[in-house]
A and B are shown apart, each in its own frame.
Chain A
Amino acid sequence: MKGVRSAAMQILVPAGSMHDLPTQRGMSNVISEMTLRGAGTRDSRELTNALDLLGLQRSMSVAVYHARYSAAAVASKVLDSIPIYADIMQRPHMIADDFDASRDLAEQSLVGLDDDPRTKSLIYLREKHWPAPEGLNTMGTAEGLASITLPTALEAFSNTYHAGDTIIALAGDVKIDDVVQRVGSEFESWKTGPKISTSAVSNGTGVHFIEQPSEQTHIAIAYPTFPEMTDEYYIARVSAEVLSGGMSGRLFTEVREKRGLCYSVGVSYGSLRGRASMLGYAGTSNERAQATLDCFLGELRRFSDGVTQAELDRAKIGLKASVVMSGESTSARAGAIASDFFFLGRPRPLEEITAMIDLVNLDDTNTFLKANPAGPFTIVVLGPKPLEITASI
């Protein structure tokens, strides 16, 4: 990338939550936490100190398919971190003391979820909408975490940390030859393993109520749309932007600005490999929750009537501007390259994405919306009282 001094790296290891055994859900969180507690010749403290000394802005999280390790800093420091990450992936210590603490932390995060009703409603939505194991809560379950032992954790580590479907992406002030040389020398002898397989089971539907004495009622709604690699993908993305892009998006305008029903409302495009859904959320006070749900669903149903040229133009320029802006951030680019490589088998240049958005026109969009009305819906209501669903979902 030109005009930057930084670089960002993202390493995707095929140790995501979908690989947890049904009796050990939450395992991926425990083992990924353990990998950062000592590796190679460094103990836990020495490892953290070495990464800190390079000044790395970093994070680690467990997603559906992969455990994701991110690091960004001045470019030369990111290259210097590659041998340290090679230790973390291939030679973590995984000792008993760290096992206990890692499992305790995973259990604490799960208990804390009840204090965060918004996040809880969205996690529950994915569980009800998407098939297991991809849709399941990446944090696992209390029973699953309780059943994990150090030997089973070591076995899971051995099965999921390998070069098969591992992706290392860098973006920024780096040269590909330097990256290949460093990664090659550090990772070439790493064992490989099976490729990730994805579920073919169909989505769930229905209305689900979780009783919780929260201040607001949290409404989460999902329905299927078209994934990457399909012809309809860019039309689906642009039309999602009409619904919920900017502040002139349909949902923000109708639910919040016209009626003042809530502070937070919107939908976002969420995807698994081979399937995608619109995932929506609105949080509102309990007495106005029914009106909010009715209005939200009404707007989604009305969407098949089509969009105007002006709406389409705004959606396209909005998406294109986000693409250009992501080109100024090394972290955004490293993340996008890694994700593209996993979902599409190749990274897309920014110019390709903007050109594809340009091709979306009004006739095709309205034909698409008529042929693909929103639904069938999965609806989650979290709050003190259930809500009525007036028409079929």
Chain B
Amino acid sequence: MALEFQQHRLANGLTILGETNDSAHTFSAGLFVKTGSRDEPTQVNGVSHFLEHMMFKGSDTIDWQAMNRIFDEMGARYNAFTTQEMTAYYATVLPEFTARSLEHLGQLLRPAIRQADFDTEKKVILEEIAMYQDEPSHRIYEELMAKHFANHSLGQSILGPAQTIRDLTRTQMKDYLDQHYGPANMVLSVAGKMDFASVIELAEKFYGHWTGPVPTRAHDEQLQINQDVRMTDEKLNRTYVMAMTPGPGSQDPMRFAARVLGDVLGDSEGSRLYWSLVDPAIAEEADFGFYPHDGVGSFYVSIVCSPENTDRSIDLARKILAESRTGIAPDEIERARNKLVSSLTLSGEQPAGRMRSIGGQWLYLNQYRSLEQDIDALASVDSKSLSDLMERFPFDPMTIVRLGP
């Protein structure tokens, strides 16, 4: 499996990143736009995600039915997602549909935003917000982000508050589109079986005429105070706990050590939290991990347990974090590294996995990283890297949110 990387920049600023894999059976393409809920003014919070939905409602030349139908005529696996910091649109197809899929992704990102479609889709967004209200793990995550990042734009919800969505106008959405979807604010990531030179030609043909500004992202100060928030919901049977504390950001060289630490402390099996909380059945789930963002990052702890075991579970989790600062054994690190390397190897075998990884990483690093580079970076993590990491990020201060009956 020889992977070859190439890149190109169109005159309008659109960057094209390609990783060719001759033994692949598919071609995967994605447009990654550097915009998300943290880039939204508060009065339009939720517009990035709503706009992502409106892309599927058609361009000036095709309607919403044709938009979905043409993807399905190619048998494409296609979708889109919005995070706090990026919005991505992607399709995986058989190689014979390379040109058509690139053309159609171009149609997708030039939405007409017709008023009638906007009004119908608003209802779908409000349904999606209601759906997440039935998912305790989502509710607690949103509350935690809002509290932990109270003075930071990362605290804004991706879906937005229901009332903001109700009040949002088509004109506001158009303005946001014009400001954030310029070609220099996005990358085209392609992977799998392809001829990169012809991908460049196709990109020039379909996206070469796009224009637009490059917005700047604000990097606010993070509020760092200890908070313990309790939410009650009589309908629930279990208590859901989530806590957050500062960690390295997406560009930080310590991010690889943070991944290893996440696995040592919080993997679903064989981690320190597992042995202390899940193995003796004190909690049903206990997880520790790492959320890197642009310029800022967090470690999180997540626990699901019975209401009566809540305090005990939180105390145990705190104890494990404190103990881990006295040192992590080399054999623990080796096991964690091996699991992470397997996971990278498996996702790297599918063009869709590489397309996402290359496109997503570029928005943060402005740099291509091969699978081997990431594997080597993980392999070099040792006890000292973990001590240095915990010296810099000592799990304090910490925001805790609980949701239960």
Interface residues of A (CB under 8 A from B): 2-6, 37, 44-45, 48-49, 51-58, 72-74, 77, 100-102, 104-105, 108-109, 111-112, 114-118, 212-216, 218, 245-249, 252-253, 256-264, 283-285, 288, 310, 313-314, 317-322, 324-325, 327-331
B73 near A317 with CB under 8 A, answer yes
B124 adjacent to A263 (CB under 8 Å): yes
Q: Known: A247-B72, A313-B73. Is A48-B341 also a contact (CB below 8 A)?
A: no
Give 21 pairs: A residue, B residue, CB < 8 Å, sorted on A: A4-B1, A6-B345, A53-B334, A57-B342, A74-B342, A104-B281, A108-B281, A115-B136, A115-B235, A216-B127, A245-B72, A246-B76, A257-B120, A260-B120, A260-B123, A264-B131, A285-B130, A314-B72, A321-B76, A328-B24, A328-B351
Q: Report which residue of B68, B120, B281 has the largest number of chain A beta carbons within 10 angstroms of its beta carbon.
A: B281
Q: Are B75 and A105 in touch, CB under 8 angstroms?
A: no
Q: Does B195 contact A (CB under 8 A)?
A: no
B94 within 8 A of A: yes
**Cα A78 to Cα B361 with chains together (Å):** 30
**In contact, B56 and A321 (Cβ under 8 angstroms):** no
Chain B 313-336 near chain A by CB (<8 Å), digits 1 or 0: 000000000000000000100111
B364 at the interface (CB under 8 A from A): no
Q: Which of B56, B93, B130, B280 contacts A247 (CB 8 A)?
A: B56
Residue from B56, B93, B133, B341 in contact with A215 in the complex, judged by beta carbons closer than 8 Å: B133
**Residue ID in chain B nearest A60 by CB atoms:** B269
A92 to chain B, nearest CB (A): 15
Who on chain A is nearest to B1 by CB? Answer: A3
Collect the chain A residues with CB atoms within 8 Å of residue B305's CB: 108
A213–B78 CA distance with the chains assembled, in angstroms: 35
When the two chains form their complex, are residues A246 and B72 in contact, meaning their CB atoms are under 8 A apart? yes
Query: Which chain A residues border B133 with CB–CB below 8 Å?
Result: 215-216
Per-residue 0/1 for B134-150: is the Cβ within 8 Å of any A Cβ (1 yes, 0 no)? Answer: 11100000000000000
> Which of B120, B275, B280, B346 sits near A45, CB closer than 8 Å?
B275
Residues from chain B with a CB closer than 8 A to the CB of A245 are 72
Is there a chain A Cβ closer than 8 Å to B279's Cβ? Answer: yes
| B306 pairs with A324, CB closer than 8 A | no
- Given A57-B346, A321-B94: A246 and B68 within 8 A (CB)? yes
Residue pair B26, A257 in contact (C-beta under 8 Å): no
Could you say which residues of chain A place their CB within 8 Å of the CB of B338? Answer: 52-55, 73, 77
- Given A108-B284, A116-B135, also A53-B345 (CB < 8 A): no
Contact: B92 with A325, CB < 8 Å?
Answer: yes
CA–CA, A57 to B24, complex, Å? 22
Instruction: Output the nearest chain B residue to A47 by Cβ-Cβ distance.
Output: B270
| B299 located at the interface, meaning its Cβ lies under 8 Å from any Cβ of chain A in the complex | no
In the bound complex, residues from chain A placing their C-beta under 8 Å from that of B204 are none
Residues of chain B touching chain A, judged by Cβ–Cβ distance below 8 Å, are 1, 21, 23-26, 56, 64-65, 68-69, 71-78, 92-94, 120-124, 126-128, 130-131, 133-136, 235-238, 269-270, 275, 278-281, 284, 304-306, 331, 334-343, 345-346, 349-352
In the complex, which residues of chain A have a beta carbon less than 8 angstroms from the beta carbon of B278?
105
Are B238 and A263 closer than 8 Å at their CB atoms? Answer: no
Which residues of the partner chain A approach B352 to less than 8 Å between Cβ atoms? 325
Closest 6 CB pairs of A and B: A3-B23, A321-B75, A55-B338, A260-B123, A104-B281, A246-B72
Find chain B residues with CB under 8 A from A212 CB. 235
Do A246 and B71 contact each other (CB < 8 Å), given the known contacts A52-B338, A330-B349?
A: yes
Residues of A within 8 A of B340 (CB): 55
User: Does A105 contact B281, Cβ atoms closer than 8 Å?
Assistant: yes
Task: List the B side residues contacting A314 at CB < 8 Å.
Answer: 69, 72-73, 75
CB distance from A113 to the nearest CB of B (A): 8
Q: Contact: A257 with B64, CB < 8 Å?
A: yes
A285-B130, A328-B349 known; A48 vs B25 contact (CB < 8 Å): no
Assess the A329–B77 pair: CB atoms within 8 A: no
Whether the pair B71, A247 counts as a contact (CB closer than 8 A) is yes
Q: Is the CB of A216 within 8 A of B73?
A: no
Is A248 a contact of B68 with CB atoms below 8 Å? yes
Given the complex, which residues of A lie within 8 Å of B270, measured CB to CB? 48-49, 51-52
A283 to B127, CA, bound (A): 8
In the complex, which of the residues B72, B74, B269, B340 has the most CB atoms of chain A within 10 Å of its own CB atom?
A: B72
Q: Considering only CB atoms, which chain B residue lies closest to A77 in the complex?
A: B342
A112-B238, A248-B68 known; A318 vs B75 contact (CB < 8 Å): yes
List of B residues within 8 angstroms of A320 by Cβ: 75
Known: A3-B1, A57-B342, A105-B281. A248 touches B135 (CB 8 A): no
Choose from A108, A213, A263, A325 the contact partner of B131 (Cβ within 8 Å).
Answer: A263
* A109 in contact with B342 (CB, 8 Å): no
Distance between A196 CB and nearest chain B CB, rounded to angstroms: 28
**Nearest CB of chain A from residue B83's CB, rounded to whole Å:** 18
Partner among A101, A253, A283 whose Cβ is within 8 Å of the Cβ of B280:
A101
A114 to chain B, nearest CB (A): 5
Is there an interface contact between A248 and B65, defined as CB atoms closer than 8 Å? yes
Say which residue of A260, A261, A322 sits within 8 Å of B121 (CB atoms).
A260
A120 to chain B, nearest CB (A): 10
- Quote the shortest CB–CB distance from A116 to chain B (angstroms): 7
In the complex, what distance in Å separates the CA atom of A253 from the CA atom of B35?
28
Residues of B within 8 A of A262 (CB): 124, 127
Instruction: Give 13 new A-B contacts, CB below 8 A, not counting A45-B275, A52-B270, A324-B25.
Output: A37-B279, A73-B342, A108-B306, A212-B235, A218-B134, A246-B76, A247-B68, A247-B78, A264-B131, A321-B77, A322-B77, A328-B25, A330-B346
Kindly state the separation between the CA atoms of A218 and B133 in the bound complex, as whole angstroms.
Answer: 13
